[in-house]
Chain A
Amino acid sequence: MSRKKMLIMDPRDNVGVLLEDAGPGDLCFCGNLECTAKESIAFGHKISLADLQSGATVLKYGHKIGYATAPISKGTWVHRHNIESERGR
């Protein structure tokens, strides 16, 4: 287990952006906020900061970037396999 830097763009966000590659058990931190990664998440990718139900709004930059298409548990990777946007389609 090691500490990995992440960035939270806005206090309202429920995802963080990893600034280093993280593996299962790594403690991801941004200021005082900490979240343990449950799986491998690459640099630049998003980690869930909360347990999200299917259909929940995913917030980054303080705004909606999409919604969860499946339950997303805290500390897991957030990407195309579990979020989608109704925009541009």
Chain B
Amino acid sequence: MEFYGYRRLDGQAGVRNYIGIIPSVFCANRVAEMISQQVAGTVCLTHPVGCSQVGADLERTAQTLIAMGNHPNLAGVIVVGLGCERFTVKEFVEGLQKSRKPVAQVIIQEEGDTLRAVEKGVRLAHRMVEEASTIQRQPIDISELSVGVKCGGTDATSGISANPAVGAMSDLVVDHGGTVLFSEVTELLGAEDILAARAANSKVAEDILDTIRRMEDKLRVAGTDPKYQNRSALISTGNFDGGVSTVAEKALGNIYKSGSRPICGVVEYCETPGGRGLYLMDSPGHDGEVVTGMVGGGAQVIVFTSGRGTPTGFPFVPVIKVTGNSRTYEKMRENIDYNAGGIIDGSNTILAAGEDLFRMVLEAAGGKTPHAEAMRHAELFCISRL
């Protein structure tokens, strides 16, 4: 089975053909935005980091930004820097060489001022878009597709209908030789034994248990200070309102998204798995941090379930929104792409919904724009801090 994608010079397969305008530091955000606003076919990846950081935190910022630039959904990249930041433009550009895609740079302090920097960036972006627009889509085997699965704005229906439907889709992607990434380690507490039992071998089982144990230890340290006792809830007010009572309950509903196939390994934040199949990504944090890690790890499409409904999207990756109940679907028609609520009232089955979602993933990979992309929702690009 195939989809129509873009073959990149480094051999990777992309499903979008945007030019990325990426600031190396937050000081360059506005210039990057102004460049992107002038040139159709570009996307802008603003962020709040890139300077006054040290050690692992700065390294994660660098790795994440480089992973974004190397992603096959971008045909070319313009790095916009200020000129004095810790994560330098030079290092950023060098990190993008392995993708062999066109890369250009604009350094504000060298150009003179905002308008001069914008002018240079717009001219560069025009040329890059023109060049990229000649690249044709071609048939690419599904085995080259990597899909990230995520949930947010969870209610009790997420674990009943939406997540099981996504799980059926995950199984189809894996059965066709593709890759599925799942994560949200904070929301796996209580489900670790089930996941470890699905590990491809005993080493992977240990890695899964270690990853979840480390996260729980970290949370214990963060949550025990009496000063922050009102800030220790791991799940949101909306989760509670939706009928989810404990993090273990959320975890047991959450893991349905990963389907039923063996877990081949645990990868680090923004790390691309060494093989194909189902992988757990060790990632902290909220929707944006998790999705950014998955995109950094090579996901070209994201499938995102939301019982209560969320509009978010990613600048250069199609995000397919799935809800588990018809109430949210009717209320948020322009945000939700698929209603799995039929599983609850008996008009649909988990397997049939999984097939629908699998087809939607292939359509999105082939160019169909999900709602979040059409409305340029881009909140899910978010660099995690250490």
Contacts and interface: CB of A to CB of B under 8 A. Distances in A.
A19 interface: yes
Contacts of A19: 344-345
A78 B245 contact: yes
A65 B246 contact: yes
Contacts of B132: none
A40 B284 CA distance: 37
A84 B22 CA distance: 44
A44 B219 contact: no
Interface in B287-346: 307, 325, 327, 344-345
Interface of B is mostly: helix
A84 B186 CA distance: 17
B191 interface: yes
B252 A65 contact: yes
Given A61-B252, A65-B252, A44 B246 contact: no
A89 B243 contact: no
A9 B253 CA distance: 10
B243 A88 contact: no
Given A44-B155, A65-B252, A80 B247 contact: no
B344 A83 contact: no
A66 B345 CA distance: 28
Contacts of A64: 190, 248
Interface string A51-73: 00000000011011110000000
Given A44-B156, A89-B223, A65 B190 contact: yes
Contacts of A80: 240, 245
A45 B156 contact: yes
A17 B248 contact: no
Contacts of B194: 63
B239 to A, nearest CB: 10
B159 interface: yes
Nearest to A78: B245
Contacts of A44: 155-157, 242-243, 307, 325
Contacts of B156: 17, 44-46
A7 interface: yes
Interface of A is mostly: loop
Most buried by A among B156, B159, B242: B156
Most buried by A among B160, B216, B242, B243: B243
In the complex, which range does the number of interface residues on chain B fall in?
20 to 34
A35 B191 CA distance: 28
A87 B216 contact: yes
A7 B191 contact: no
Contact of A89 (B232, B251, B252): B232
B191 A17 contact: no
Interface string B129-167: 000000000000000000000000001110110000000
A27 interface: no
B348 to A, nearest CB: 14
A88 B252 contact: no
A7 B344 contact: yes
Interface string A13-48: 000010100000000000000000000001111100
Interface in B211-254: 216, 219-220, 223, 232, 234, 240, 242-243, 245-249, 251-253
Interface of B: 155-157, 159-160, 186, 189-191, 194, 216, 219-220, 223, 232, 234, 240, 242-243, 245-249, 251-253, 307, 325, 327, 344-345
27 contacts: A7-B160, A7-B344, A9-B160, A43-B243, A44-B155, A44-B156, A44-B157, A44-B242, A44-B325, A61-B159, A61-B252, A63-B194, A65-B190, A65-B252, A66-B246, A66-B249, A79-B243, A80-B240, A83-B245, A84-B246, A85-B246, A85-B247, A87-B216, A88-B223, A88-B247, A89-B219, A89-B220
Given A45-B243, A64-B248, A87-B248, 17 more contacts: A9-B160, A17-B156, A42-B243, A43-B243, A44-B155, A44-B156, A44-B242, A45-B156, A63-B190, A63-B194, A63-B252, A64-B190, A65-B249, A85-B247, A88-B186, A88-B190, A88-B247
